[in-house]
């Protein structure tokens, strides 16, 4: 567990250790007690339907998962494994950067719950979800 709050820069450095997170074009906008806001820079490789130009749902689910996960960083000082995840899709994500907001719902010594929302550049809700994460201390 982290007793000292991590700065935005420290969280971003931890997050971007993962090559997949780098590929997603993630940056940390803000970090608070049990909360995080990320930006995901749009990539043409996200497109699932070339005619319509919308983003694959797997990208949105990924962003829900990792945003909820990293909302827990203020408590754990690290990313944590996903135990269960639920994602709801609200509208198609078209070309453009995405805002990802996460917050802790319940923090526990073994298992925790966090949720996330993915929004487009105009603030419209694209996807939301809730995850269960293993927050037991790392061995």
> Is the pTM higher than 0.95?
no
CATH number at residue 123: 3.10.129.10
Q: Across all residues in the chain, what is the average pLDDT?
A: 94
Q: Is residue 29 part of a domain?
A: yes
Q: Is residue 114 part of a domain?
A: yes
Q: Is residue 2 part of a domain?
A: no
Q: Contact at 8 Å (CB) between 96 and 120?
A: yes
Q: Is residue 74 part of a domain?
A: yes
Residues across the chain: 139
**35 to each of 20, 61, 80, how far by Cα in Å?**
22, 18, 15
Averaged pLDDT, 78-89: 95
How many independent structural domains does the chain possess?
1
Q: Is residue 124 pLDDT above 70, yes or no?
A: yes
pLDDT at 1: 47
Q: Is residue 3 part of a domain?
A: no
Bridge partners of 38, per DSSP, are 28, 100
The token pair at 117 is 């929302």
> pLDDT grade, residue 16 (50/70/90)?
very high
β strands within the chain, DSSP E = 26-32, 35-40, 47-49, 54-55, 82-89, 98-106, 111-119, 125-134
Range of the domain at 82: 8-134
Q: Is residue 139 part of a domain?
A: no
Q: Is residue 75 part of a domain?
A: yes
Residue identified by tokens 């944590």 is: 80
Q: Is residue 109 part of a domain?
A: yes
The token pair at 128 is 């939301």
Q: What percent of the chain has pLDDT over 70?
A: 97
Where does residue 77 fall: left (phi above 0), alpha (psi -120 to 50 degrees), or beta otherwise? Answer: left
pLDDT tens profile 86-114: 999 999 999 999 999 999 999 999 999 99
């Amino acid at each position: 567990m982290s007793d000292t709050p991590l700065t935005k820069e420290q969280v971003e450095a931890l997050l971007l250790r993962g090559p997949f997170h780098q590929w997603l074009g993630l940056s940390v906008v803000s970090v608070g007690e049990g909360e995080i806001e990320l930006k995901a820079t749009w990539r043409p490789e996200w497109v699932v339907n070339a005619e319509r130009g919308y983003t694959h749902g797997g990208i949105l689910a990924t962003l829900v998962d990792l945003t909820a996960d990293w909302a827990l960083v203020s408590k754990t000082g690290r990313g944590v494994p996903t135990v269960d995840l639920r994602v709801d899709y609200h509208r198609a994500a078209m070309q453009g950067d995405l805002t990802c907001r996460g917050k802790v719902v319940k923090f526990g010594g073994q298992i925790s719950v966090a949720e996330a929302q993915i929004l487009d550049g105009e603030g419209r809700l694209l996807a939301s979800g809730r995850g269960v994460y293993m927050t037991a201390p790392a061995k």
